[in-house]
């Protein structure tokens, strides 16, 4: 069972680095984490200006930053500019542990989120997850589907998504974050995709518009039924002195089941604190 890191953000809200209005509004939109973008959301002609604007925004309030592709001159300039200010760096299109090391050498000690969005990235996910400074992986659905020349969907992407989850767990890092859902007005579609990701072991999802945040948080929030189950489960397990037992409803409870119940209650407590 994939563990839930209670400090893991449920939502990362993107803001294009060249848009001054969004660079201000993103901090108050209600996301768990802010992600200032220097990559795909920024036109090539605006890259240098966006870097300056993101540095100015980080000096007002810290955030995560998505840099340009590792190994490029733009990425080197991005990392040099933000490494001392950012909460962490999201690296796009990661396909090897060497690319993670390249960024880590330029941002020592800074948490790195590594986006898996190609066949090569999926194949190397275990090594990427185990690289020093990798804090979590992100599954990038749009680029992955473009790389494989598929339309997407749950079944066609199941292997890649599950592999990212397993690689994260095997490396002992936080559960991976799901990528952004691009149909902003389709809230039900967003909920379905987020719920599918959660069912596989993901925790959290990127957002490209503030209106997506509430749905994402709702999906990754433990339901009242889950919380009630967790409490009943732990009560039975503790009453048995930590030995395998059954609940009053006849469900088997042992160590991994009890740990899953604890994970749910920790997440519920985080919700109550509003953190």
- The number of residues in the chain equals 275
- The model's pTM is 0.84
What pLDDT does residue 47 have? 98
pLDDT digit string (tens) for 134-155? Answer: 999 999 999 999 999 999 999 9
Q: Show Cβ contacts of residue 162 under 8 Å, excluding neighbours closer than 6 positions.
A: 200, 201
216, 9 contact by CB (below 8 A): no
How many angstroms separate the CA atoms of 200 and 155, rounded? 12
List the one residue out of 105, 58, 108, 97 whose CA is nearest residue 81: 58
Q: Where do you find CATH 3.20.20.60 in the chain? A: 11-219
Structure confidence at residue 169 as a pLDDT band (50, 70, 90): very high
The residue with tokens 């660079």 is 23
CATH classification of 11-219, choosing from 3.20.20.60, 3.30.70.580, 3.40.50.620, 3.90.320.10? 3.20.20.60
Average pLDDT taken over every residue of the chain: 92
Residue 4's pLDDT is 34
Say if residues 11 and 221 touch (Cβ distance below 8 Å).
no
Residue 266 is predicted with a pLDDT of 78
In percent, how much of the chain has pLDDT > 70? 96
- pLDDT average, residue stretch 32-43: 96
Confidence of residue 5 (pLDDT cuts 50, 70, 90): very low
**3 pLDDT more than 50:** no
What pLDDT digit, counting tens, does each position of 205-240 carry?
A: 999 999 999 999 999 887 788 788 888 888 888 999
Of 178, 172, 208, 207, nearest to 195 by C-alpha is 178
* Separation between Cα atoms, residue 2 and residue 134, nearest integer Å: 17
Q: Is the per-residue pLDDT at 2 higher than 50?
A: no
- How confident is the model over 70-104, as pLDDT tens digits? 999 999 999 999 999 999 999 999 999 999 999 99
Identify the weakest region by mean pLDDT among 6-15, 100-109, 156-165: 6-15
Question: CA torsion sign, 95 to 98 to 99 to 104?
Answer: positive
């Amino acid at each position: 069972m994939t563990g839930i890191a209670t400090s893991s953000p449920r939502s990362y809200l993107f803001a294009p680095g060249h848009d001054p209005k969004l660079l201000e509004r993103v901090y108050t939109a209600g996301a768990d984490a802010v992600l200032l973008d220097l990559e795909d959301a920024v036109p090539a002609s605006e890259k240098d200006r966006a870097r300056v604007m993101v540095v100015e925004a980080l000096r007002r309030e810290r955030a995560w930053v998505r840099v340009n592709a590792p190994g490029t001159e733009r990425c080197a300039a991005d990392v040099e500019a933000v490494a001392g200010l950012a909460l962490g760096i999201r690296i796009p299109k990661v396909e090897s542990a060497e690319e993670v090391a390249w960024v880590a050498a330029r941002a020592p000690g800074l948490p790195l989120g590594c986006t898996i969005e190609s066949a090569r990235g999926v194949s190397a996910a275990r090594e990427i997850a185990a690289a020093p400074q990798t804090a979590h992986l992100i599954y990038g659905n749009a680029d992955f589907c473009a790389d494989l020349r598929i339309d997407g969907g749950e079944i066609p992407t199941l292997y890649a998504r599950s592999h990212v989850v397993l690689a994260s767990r095997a490396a002992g890092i936080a559960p991976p974050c799901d990528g952004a859902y691009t149909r902003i007005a389709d809230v039900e579609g967003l909920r379905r995709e987020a719920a599918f990701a959660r069912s596989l072991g993901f925790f959290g999802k990127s957002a490209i518009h503030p209106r997506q945040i509430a749905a994402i948080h709702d999906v990754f929030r433990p339901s009242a039924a889950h919380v009630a189950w967790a409490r009943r489960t732990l009560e039975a397990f503790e009453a048995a002195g930590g030995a395998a037992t059954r609940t009053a409803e006849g469900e088997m409870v042992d160590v991994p089941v009890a740990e899953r119940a604890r994970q749910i209650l920790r997440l519920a407590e985080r919700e109550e604190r509003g953190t």
